[in-house]
């Protein structure tokens, strides 16, 4: 059975989505790609509702095994970051409601996975996507292409479930197990010292 990934490039005006099925080796086939839009003149609740409904429809249509989301980073434009973070939360919640595991990837991880360079630009990423997926041109708008790149990153490098650490950063499952082992060791030390 092939692994299916829904990539999400979170955005409040345009939320990119891309669905890929894993192929042999590093192969992949494009299932669906596009954007879910919300109207900038609407209030935040209506905008998030529009994005939620659009993503929900894609989850129902494609039933992915994993939802891979671009991890939000702080930028100078606080309002943009807030909207992006809110859309990320919507995507995570929709996946959780369906029991679909999630993964999060930073922009540099996506660039490195797709092109081999963490400093690649969007044009380089789109060139690789066209070649790998056998497309006549890169998906448009750029948010859609970014979502495909996120899905491809998950297929090629995906660690699986992600938890947030105390600082709000994404952790791989291996990092989570390490952190749990550290906590267990600390509890054991505290327990042994409290006996004296």
pLDDT digits (tens, 9 = 90+) for 116-175: 888 899 899 999 999 999 999 999 999 999 999 999 999 998 654 444 443 344 444 444
Phi, psi angles (nearest 5°) of residue 171: -125, 145
* 42 marked as part of a ligand binding site: no
Domain residue ranges of the chain, discontinuous segments joined by +: 4-161, 164-196
- The separation between the first and the last C-alpha atoms of the chain, rounded to the nearest angstrom, is 56
Residue with tokens 């060139």: 127
Task: Specify the CATH class of 4-161 in words.
Answer: alpha beta
* 61 marked as part of a ligand binding site: no
Task: Give the CA distances from residue 69 to residues 153, 160, 179, in Å, rounded to whole numbers and listed in that order.
Answer: 10, 12, 23
* 182 marked as part of a ligand binding site: no
Q: CA–CA separation, 81 vs 72, rounded Å? A: 7
> Which positions are catalytic?
9, 70, 143
pLDDT of 192 > 70? The answer is: no
DSSP state for residue 40 in the 8-state scheme: T
């Amino acid at each position: 059975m092939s692994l299916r990934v829904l990539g999400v490039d979170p955005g409040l005006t345009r939320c990119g989505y891309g669905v890929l099925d894993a192929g042999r080796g590093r192969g992949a086939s494009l299932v669906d790609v596009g954007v879910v839009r919300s109207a900038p003149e609407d209030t935040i609740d209506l905008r998030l509702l529009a994005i939620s409904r659009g993503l929900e429809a894609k989850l129902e249509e494609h039933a992915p095994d994993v939802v891979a989301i671009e991890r939000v980073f702080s930028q100078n434009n606080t309002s943009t970051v807030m909207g992006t973070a809110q859309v990320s939360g919507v995507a995570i919640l929709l996946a959780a409601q369906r029991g679909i595991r999630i993964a999060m990837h930073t922009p540099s991880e996506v660039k490195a996975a797709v092109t081999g360079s963490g400093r690649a630009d969007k044009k380089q990423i789109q060139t690789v996507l066209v070649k790998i997926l056998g497309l006549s041109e890169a998906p448009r708008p750029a948010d859609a292409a970014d979502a495909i790149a996120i899905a491809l990153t998950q297929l090629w490098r995906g660690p699986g479930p992600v938890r947030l650490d105390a600082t709000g950063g994404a952790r791989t499952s291996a990092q989570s197990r390490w952190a749990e082992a550290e906590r267990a060791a600390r509890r054991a030390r505290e327990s042994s010292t409290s006996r004296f």
